[in-house]
């Protein structure tokens, strides 16, 4: 299948290119950058040197002839483009633009997989949303949650995109740790929407933190429960190879550059502490977009995605 990536030089876009270039069933034939058209993709993303000779192109009618297009544009930029892509059989939007849009399927494969089969318009979940949903979703679906959920999360600087800012500037981030968007993160409504589709959505109080790492998310959710949360999580992810159960705390280094989510749970008196580690550019963005496309097309969800982290 011939596919294209719009926004190919951003962090998510270049990560999509990396996964798609090595995918056994997708052929990456078009890469779009409105600001860098005419330049070689490998010159703009040196990590892809030796893997592709593709040249960046402007957004134009040539994309309409493709079998699938992945949108990795800044938030707010994808919505105006989709009209020109009406004839493309499969669109996957990695931005936030279509996560609540009619006609678009929310692309969280482990929790809504059946709805993805045959989908033609997919909205990939946000990075924090992915980790929170994986932590809480099965417990809501099993009817075990008895009250409000409190969660914290730490994220790497690539979660803010490639455009430099105070929040990503190395001298300000490298030796610092701070909370931001306390109780007001934009992914919370997204998470609550999915939880409501799975069962009775509890209140969710979420505090994200900027961590001194470049990529990765570690979420810790404190979930009041009755019953057996471990059994519910085991049942939910049995057969889902990209969600790995861990003993003790998951670690970012084990998921870096991968499509995996590592999950662990500790039980106390009436509470489950669920921890999830993902790569925010992998399972939290590009790799999950490819996974959702795999499922939509009737392929094994892990196709082209089983890769180990590069860690000692």
Residues annotated as catalytic (active site), given as ranges: 127
Q: Which helix (H) or strand (E) holds 15?
A: helix 11-21
Handedness of CA 173, 157, 96, 69 (dihedral sign): positive
How far are the Cα atoms of 187, 219, 245, 259 from residue 139, in angstroms, in the given order? 19, 16, 15, 23
Give phi and psi for 220, each to the nearest 5.
-125, 120
C-beta of residue 140 within 8 angstroms of C-beta of residue 199: yes
Give phi and psi for 74, each to the nearest 5.
-60, 150
CA atoms within 13 A on the CB side of 110: 30
Both tokens assigned to 267: 């039980």
Give phi and psi for 92, each to the nearest 5.
-125, 120
Both tokens assigned to 202: 């509890």
Give phi and psi for 164, each to the nearest 5.
-65, 145
Burial 73-87 (b: 16+ CB within 10 A, else e): beeeebbebbeebee
What is the spatial distance between Cα 212 and Cα 24, in angstroms, rounded to a whole number?
35
The dihedral formed by the CA atoms of 221, 195, 306 and 251, expressed in degrees to the nearest 10: -10
What is the spatial distance between Cα 125 and Cα 108, in angstroms, rounded to a whole number?
6
C-beta of residue 107 within 8 angstroms of C-beta of residue 123: yes
């Amino acid at each position: 299948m011939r596919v294209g990536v719009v926004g190919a030089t951003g962090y998510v876009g270049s990560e999509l290119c990396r996964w798609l270039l090595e995918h056994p069933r997708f052929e990456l034939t078009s890469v779009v950058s409105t600001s860098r058209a005419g330049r070689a993709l490998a010159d703009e993303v040196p990590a892809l040197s030796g893997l592709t000779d593709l040249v960046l192109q402007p957004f134009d009618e040539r994309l309409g002839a493709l079998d699938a297009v992945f949108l990795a544009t800044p938030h707010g930029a994808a919505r105006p483009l989709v009209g020109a892509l009406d004839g493309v059989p499969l669109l996957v939007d990695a931005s936030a633009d279509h996560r609540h849009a009619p006609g678009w399927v929310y692309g969280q494969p482990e929790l809504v997989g059946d709805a993805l089969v045959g989908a033609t318009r997919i909205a990939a979940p946000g990075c924090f949303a992915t980790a929170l949903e994986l932590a809480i979703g099965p417990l809501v679906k099993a009817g075990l949650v008895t009250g409000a959920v409190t969660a914290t999360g730490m994220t790497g600087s690539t979660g803010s995109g490639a455009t430099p800012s105070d929040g990503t500037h190395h001298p300000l981030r490298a030796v610092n740790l701070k909370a931001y968007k306390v109780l007001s993160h934009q992914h919370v409504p997204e998470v609550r929407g999915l939880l409501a589709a799975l069962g009775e959505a509890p209140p969710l109080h979420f505090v994200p933190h900027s961590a001194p790492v470049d990529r990765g998310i570690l979420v810790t959710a404190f979930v009041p429960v009755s019953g057996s949360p471990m059994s519910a999580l085991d049942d939910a992810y049995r057969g889902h190879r990209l969600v790995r159960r861990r003993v003790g705390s998951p670690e970012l280094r084990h998921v870096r550059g991968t499509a995996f989510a590592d999950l662990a749970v500790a039980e106390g008196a009436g509470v489950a502490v669920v921890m999830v580690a993902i790569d925010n550019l992998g399972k939290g963005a590009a790799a999950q977009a490819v996974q959702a496309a795999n499922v939509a097309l009737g392929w094994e969800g892990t196709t082209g995605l089983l890769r180990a982290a590069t860690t000692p």
